[in-house]
Amino acid sequence: MHKRNRWFVSIGLLYGLLGGLVALVYLTAPGFIPGDVPRIHGHIMLLGFVVMMIYGVALHVLPRFSGQSLYSERMANWQLYLSNAGLPIMIAGWLLMLNWLVLAGGVLAYSGIVLFAINIILTVKPTGPWR
């Protein structure tokens, strides 16, 4: 397994643990964590746990399923950097209730999704006749 894909899977698991902890702290001591806590928890779980796990598994498995190598390793590396810069910045934005900061992080996280989409489409596109 490519080192980058191991990172995606491991980081996804860490976000899952963090997101659960945030929710439990929120339920135990409301007000302890500042800002929009449900939003923070939701996006740690979805963009962090679920999406990072999908990134890691898909980047490993889809080239093998399609019988072709990944279109661009470099694009997938940038996907790792952008998505892992984006989510913490979004979280900081929701902690501080600064919409522009959520937007800045969101642009980075979204750029990661765009790179992933392009890379996977170019990897699984059919070659030769349709079967």
User: How far is residue 42 from each of residues 48, 49, 55, 56, 70, measured CA to CA in Å?
Assistant: 9, 10, 18, 20, 30
Q: Does 51 bind ligand HEM (CB under 6 A)?
A: yes
Backbone region of residue 72 per phi and psi (left: phi > 0; alpha: psi in -120 to 50; beta: other values) = beta
Q: Is 54 in the site for ligand HEM (CB under 6 A)?
A: no
Site string for ligand HEM, 66-105 (x = CB under 6 A): ------------------------------------x---
Report the residue from 18, 23, 95, 104 that binds ligand HEM according to the rule CB under 6 A.
23
Q: Check binding of 58 to ligand HEM (CB under 6 A).
A: no
Q: How far apart are CA 61 and CA 32, in angstroms?
A: 41
Residue 34 as a binder of ligand HEM (CB under 6 A): the answer is no
Residue window 108-127: x/- pattern of binding to ligand HEM, with contact defined by CB under 6 A: -xx-----------------
Q: Binding ligand HEM by CB under 6 A: which of 50, 54, 104, 124? A: 50
| 52-74: b (≥16 Cβ within 10 Å) or e | bbebbebbbeebeeeeeebbeee
Q: Which residues sit at the interface with ligand HEM, rule CB under 6 A?
A: 20, 23-24, 26-27, 38-39, 41-43, 45-47, 49-51, 102, 106, 109-110
